[in-house]
Amino acid sequence: MTFETKIYNQNFTLHCSGAIFWNDKNTLLIADVHLGKVTHFRKNGFAIPNEALHRNFDKLMEVVGYFKATKILFLGDLFHSTKNSEWDLFVKWSRNCGCELVLIAGNHDIIKPYNYQELGVKVVDELIIDNFMLTHHPTESADYFNFSGHIHPGITLKGLGRSRMKLPCFFQRKKQIILPAFGAFTGLGIIQPQEGDVIYAIAGLEIVLVQKS
Contact between residue 27 and residue 69 where contact means Cβ atoms under 8 Å apart: yes
Instruction: Say how far apart CA 105 and CA 31 lie, in whole Å.
Output: 10
The count of C-alpha atoms lying within 13 angstroms of the C-alpha of 46, restricted to the half-sphere facing its C-beta, is 10
DSSP lists the bridge partners of residue 180 as none
Q: What is the pLDDT of residue 205?
A: 93
Counted domains in the chain: 1
Query: The CATH number of the domain where 6 resides is what?
Result: 3.60.21
Mean pLDDT value of segment 140-152: 97
Q: What is the pLDDT of residue 49?
A: 60
**What 3-state class would DSSP assign to 54?**
helix
Instruction: Give the pTM.
Output: 0.93
Is the confidence at residue 202, as pLDDT, over 60? yes
Closest Cα to residue 181, out of 140, 211, 136?
Answer: 136
The count of C-alpha atoms lying within 13 angstroms of the C-alpha of 211, restricted to the half-sphere facing its C-beta, is 18
- Place 59 in a pLDDT band, splitting at 50, 70 and 90: very high
State the residue range of the domain holding 204.
2-211
Instruction: Say how far apart CA 135 and CA 126 lie, in whole Å.
Output: 5
Q: What is the pLDDT of residue 37?
A: 75
Please give the share of the chain, as a percent, with pLDDT higher than 70.
Answer: 90
Contact between residue 169 and residue 181 where contact means Cβ atoms under 8 Å apart: no
Contact between residue 7 and residue 170 where contact means Cβ atoms under 8 Å apart: no
Going across the sheet that includes 10-15, the strands are 2-7, 10-15, 20-22, 27-30, 71-74, 100-104, 122-124
Q: What is the pLDDT of residue 82?
A: 79
Q: What is the mean pLDDT of the chain?
A: 90
Is the confidence at residue 42, as pLDDT, over 90? no
